[in-house]
Amino acid sequence: MSKKIRSFVENNILIISSMLLIIWVSYGITFPNGYTFSGGDTVQIFNFQRILKDYTYTWNPSGEGSFLEYFGYYLYYFPFYLVSSIFHISPSSQSFLYPLVFLTLSFWSFFFGLDFYKKNGDRINKNYKIILSLIYTFNSYTFYNFYYTWGFSPFLFLYVLIPVIFGATYKFFSSTEKFERNRTLAILGVFFFLSNISNGNLPFFVSLNILLLLFIILVFVYRDKNIGTGDFIKNIFLYYITYFFCIFWSVLPQILEMFRKIAIFNSGGSVFDLRQWLFWQAVGLEDVFFINNSITTFSLLGYFSIAISIFMCFFIFSDDKKLKVKIIYQTLLVSCIFLANKGIGVISSDLTWKIFNNPILSSLRSYDKTLIFLPFFFTIIIFLGTVMDSNKYKHALIMLLFLNFLSTYPFFLGGLQKRYSAGFKAGENYLNAKYSYIHRIPERYFNLADNLNERRLDSKVFGLPYSKINSFGWVNYPKWKVVGVDPTFQLLNNPIIQMNSFSAFGTWNYGEFWNEQEVTKSVWILPFSGYINSNYIIYHKDVEQKFIQQTQDKISFYENAGLISKIEENSFFNLYKVHNNYYLPHFYTPQTIITTTKDIDRLPEIVSRENYNIRSAIYLNQQEDAIKTVNSTP
């Protein structure tokens, strides 16, 4: 038995070493005990039961109520929930699982994905496959994902799926054997189903399908003579029928939502300007690979590795057997860069706006929706250009791998998000920086959750004051270093509505309006809390002091007037119960129906009138015609 084990180890030493390297890197990313991640738009999910319950709906049970786009994430978080539950893994230790899964599956997806390009009689050197798979696993893009804030996002799971989806698609359309096509289509079905995870962020579905369609068209143009047009069209039908039945449940409910959002953008009803967003997120060609400028020495090595990649992609010529496939991927690579760059510096801004001002392409306004494909296109082109002469380019590939390792060195030293993070200035770390993407949630918030979770009413918790410093929807708690999505929402069974997230009310920034009002004119916020089904208020004292100075006199006035009653007080927040006069039960019959032609931003004026009945239903201008129709119905 020992001989067999020794033989296995000797034959697979590079594979074993690669897996040990991934484990080492994942271990180095593990957060200190008690720390979790929240930065920018991304938050580490650790209360899986709460999140999985929410993701069983297409209607968002949190906040003010809206369509839930992320229900496809259920597929992603359920395995993490099982593993964490079975092995009792703490939230900080879960940070080991995320990179371990992402990096391991990226390696194996590329490793096995290469086999789809083999023709009968082809052999690919195993060590050659390992080197390319490591390049796909460790590069500037994957480093950026964990250095910045996206390493814990389900939609990045698409990176894992890309090599097999494109490889199997090529095999399916280029194969002349029916059994091989059917087997490949079955494999595609599995990976299409897994792509429902990334479909929770629908623009990733859009970018994947744009590039897949272009890929299929090019495969048709360069197809084998033995594959007729009729057969190819039949295969397209089978391909997309399979795709549809694998992903319809995550995509169809979101299509109307995507068009609705674009309509809001174009009507000026959003806090974001679509044109400005498109150009803001259009990365320059020199920045398309996310080399971080603060790591200057290793940035140069990173650019050098990219230069070698570009040379190998475009100036190493394949034999005729692989040249056509290489040209296809070179076209995809250039197209992908265009979608990320949006033609900035190449075409006029007016032409860019004309091209991208539509519901399909405008959904790709953020660069991450397209750059996720770049590492695959680069690496597969290198494979196609060197596979038939691997010995000739062996040293170049080893150098490329070595440069990738050097340019992403914090991966291997450990300390990502502890010593190296996009959130830190030079010389900072997670202990001395003002803001950090990893932090300890104060014990007081856990006590708050224990208290409120015992109360079983179907209501919400209202988070005050308005405290936006950077982006809408983010919180800023400098007392415990948070900047981004509020991680405390996971602790409560009931939803939290934060004033910083006001997008449900269009462009009406009710929180900023309330902050700046005189005390006596601000009481409307209490009936407003009833309208959003909230009977508890968390008044945060862990925000920037200027927001406390703006608003603490209002809270004191409400408390002294008996409009709210204090339940808990500590250095991080005060918890208040809203007077029952202002809280509306979930189901109620209004005593008065008010219809008005005024906009939502006049709501404070309406509910502040002396003759206002707290048990009123208010219908705004966009609903008035519907109310008239209802009232005229016999």
**DSSP states along 345-381:** TTB-HHHHHHHH-STTGGGG-STHHHHTTHHHHHHHH
Q: Which residue has the tokens 């997120």?
A: 281
pLDDT at residue 629 tops 60: no
Compute the distance between CA of residue 41 and CA of residue 70 in angstroms, rounded to an integer. Answer: 14
Is the predicted pLDDT of residue 107 greater than 90, yes or no? yes
Rounded Cα gap, residues 401 and 131, in angstroms: 7
Q: Determine the Cα–Cα distance for residues 107 and 252; give it in Å rounded to an integer.
A: 31
Taking the CA atoms of 331, 333, 339 and 342 in sequence, report the sign of the dihedral they define: negative
Cβ(36)–Cβ(483) under 8 Å?
A: no
What is the reported pLDDT for 600?
Answer: 67
Mean pLDDT estimate for the chain: 85
- Which residue, chain included where needed, has tokens 């015992």? 454
Q: What is the reported pLDDT for 584?
A: 67
CA–CA gap between residue 51 and residue 71 (Å, rounded): 10
3-class DSSP string for 138-190: CCHHHHHHHHCCCCCCHHHHHHHHHHHHHHHHHHHHHCCCHHHHHHHHHHHHH
Of 612 and 344, the one with more pLDDT: 344
Q: What is the pLDDT of residue 276?
A: 78
pLDDT of residue 299: 59
* One-letter amino acid for residue 352 of the chain: T
The tokens describing 138, both together, are 């460790």
Higher-confidence residue of 421 and 614: namely: 421
Please state, as a whole number, how many other Cβ atoms lie within 10 Å of the Cβ of residue 27.
12
Compare 333 and 602 and report the one with higher pLDDT: 333
How far apart, in whole angstroms, are the C-alpha atoms of residue 144 and residue 102? Answer: 13
Query: If you search the block for the tokens 């893009």, which residue do you land on?
Result: 141
pLDDT digit string (tens) for 261-287? Answer: 777 777 666 667 777 777 777 776 556
Q: Show the DSSP H helices in 414-509 as ranges.
A: 443-453
C-alpha to C-alpha distances, 205 to 198, 255, 488, 496, 621, nearest whole angstrom: 7, 11, 30, 29, 36
Segment 52-58 mean pLDDT: 85
Percent of the chain topping pLDDT 70: 86
Average pLDDT over residues 438-463: 89
Cα–Cα distance for residue pair 159/379, rounded to 1 Å: 13
Strands 534-540 and 573-578: what pairing? antiparallel
Q: 49-59 b/e with 16+ CB inside 10 Å = b?
A: ebbbebbeeee
Q: Which H or E run contains 201?
A: none
141 band by pLDDT with thresholds 50, 70 and 90:
confident
| Residue of 211 and 403 predicted with greater confidence | 211
Can you tell me whether residue 474 is helix, strand or coil?
Answer: coil
Q: Which residue has the higher pLDDT, 209 or 386?
A: 209
Q: Determine the pLDDT at residue 632.
A: 35
| pLDDT bracket for residue 630 (50, 70, 90) | very low
Q: For 310-343, write each residue's pLDDT tens digit.
A: 777 676 665 566 788 888 999 999 999 888 888 8
Say which residue the tokens 């910083």 belong to: 500
Strand order in the sheet with 573-578: 496-498, 460-464, 534-540, 573-578, 564-569
At 234, the pLDDT band (50, 70, 90 cuts) reads: very high
Q: What is the mean pLDDT of residues 164-172?
A: 97
Number of H helices, E strands in the chain: 25, 14
pLDDT of residue 297: 52
Give the pLDDT confidence score for residue 296 in this predicted structure.
47
With pLDDT > 90 as the criterion, what percentage of the chain qualifies? 47
- Segment 534-561 mean pLDDT: 94
d(CA 73, CA 194): 10
pLDDT one-digit tens code per residue, 212-226: 999 999 999 988 888
Ranked by mean pLDDT, the top range of 190-199, 254-263, 318-327, 455-464 is 190-199
Q: Quote the CA–CA distance of 273 and 267 in Å, as a whole number.
A: 10
Residues written for the chain: 634
Distance, CA of 308 to CA of 154 (rounded, Å): 31
For the entire predicted model, the pTM comes to 0.87
pLDDT of residue 293: 45
Q: Phi, psi at residue 467, to the nearest 5°? A: -145, 30
Structure tokens at 485: 């999505």
Query: Average pLDDT for residues 521-534, to the nearest whole number?
Result: 90
